[in-house]
Amino acid sequence: MPESPASDQVRRYLRLQMADGIGPILARRLIDHFETIDAVLSASPGDLAGVEGIGRERARSLANARDDPAVDREIELAAKLGIRIVCLDEAEYPHPLRHINDPPLCLYIRGRLEPEDAIAIAVVGSRKCTRYGAEQAERFGAALASAGFTVISGLARGVDGAAQRGAVAAGGRSIAVLGNGLATVYPPEHGELAMQVAARGAVISELPLETPPEASNFPHRNRIIAGLGLGVLVIEAAHRSGARITARLASEYNREVFAVPGRVDTPTAHGVNAMIRDGQAKLVICLQDILDDLGDVGRMMAPADANSPVSADTASLDPPGLTPDESTVWGALGEEAVELDELARATKLRIETVAAILTRLQLRGAVTALPGQRFERRKRD
């Protein structure tokens, strides 16, 4: 019998996520009101109906969700497909998503999410991009991946797919966020690309496994793309486009918004050029422009001669050329594995900064990442 792809806690969250009429904002409101997912699922219909925005009809839907066999069928199908499901309470759930106002309660995952994926940039743009747009998307995807960033996109035709092909070709990590369930890949011609992304990163969705790629799904998908990383890079976007929605959401989530200028006579570039003109996005023409804007994180991710590889026989010694923050994190690491959250508390640094430092130290061969968001100094061979 296949191992269950979901914990008991995931099963509880999934009941709330799959209840009719309950979106992520109402789900968050319910959990905030009752304090725990168990309290939400055990509340009476009357108490549920008293929560703002719920009412009697949604309260009945929630009451029915407690015993809905669709949840058990969903978990069984996930096991057959080799897909795992994680919820807000679990370590693998992406840290940046916890802090948006409408996070998915559960994520379906093919592949694996890692702590260093917090150091990520989303690359989005037109599905009907020009050859120039595709070239720039692949160029930036490869450059970001080579610098140690995880490249996030939607696996769509055009810019999204090109950016993720660039990341894969550079040997870096990528996350594809789908607007359909993971039982299928959309668009179908990106099936092989999805497998390559999952092999070195993850393909994820919040939607039930057999959900088709309907147009109404994609704005919700875009909020996950916007919330997962440090910023969003837009490459070719018309005035009305999903890429501009993603950029707007990124701004609302206090993420950085970057844009590559397009040809003034190209309709698919009118929107992105307007974003730059109106101060809604920062113009970039190379990776260094992005690094410069990311402050400490950008400086840590920038290639430098001082960041030479660390050999196995010197890995237990202090690596050369550490910045003060890198020295602080290195000092907090010991012979035993330490969790990411614990490192952030011990160093009094932002968790995103600690994750960036750990990524740099891993690239230099000084630190080893272990399951459960734990890290240790690399041991001598």
Residue among 150, 25, 18, 26 nearest 85 (CA): 18
DSSP-assigned letter for residue 281: S
pLDDT value at position 196? 95
What are the structure tokens assigned to 64, written together? 């029915």
Contact predicate 155/182, CB 8 Å: no
pLDDT value at position 360? 73
- Containing H/E element for 145? helix 131-146
Pairing verdict, β 202-205 and 174-177: parallel
Q: How far apart are CA 245 and CA 366, in angstroms?
A: 40
pLDDT at 144 over 90: yes
- Containing H/E element for 70? helix 69-81
Confidence class of residue 363 from pLDDT cuts 50, 70 and 90? low
Within 85-184, residue ranges assigned H as helices are 131-146, 159-169
Confidence class of residue 312 from pLDDT cuts 50, 70 and 90? very low
Q: How far apart are CA 56 and CA 270, in angstroms?
A: 46
Confidence class of residue 301 from pLDDT cuts 50, 70 and 90? confident
Q: How far apart are CA 220 and CA 358, in angstroms?
A: 31
Q: Which domains does the chain have, with CATH numbers?
A: 8-90 (1.10.150.20), 115-297 (3.40.50.450), 312-377 (1.10.10.10)
Contact predicate 138/163, CB 8 Å: yes
pTM (global) more than 0.95: no
pLDDT value at position 316? 43
Q: How far apart are CA 154 and CA 334, in angstroms?
A: 38
The mean pLDDT of the chain is 87
- Containing H/E element for 283? strand 282-283
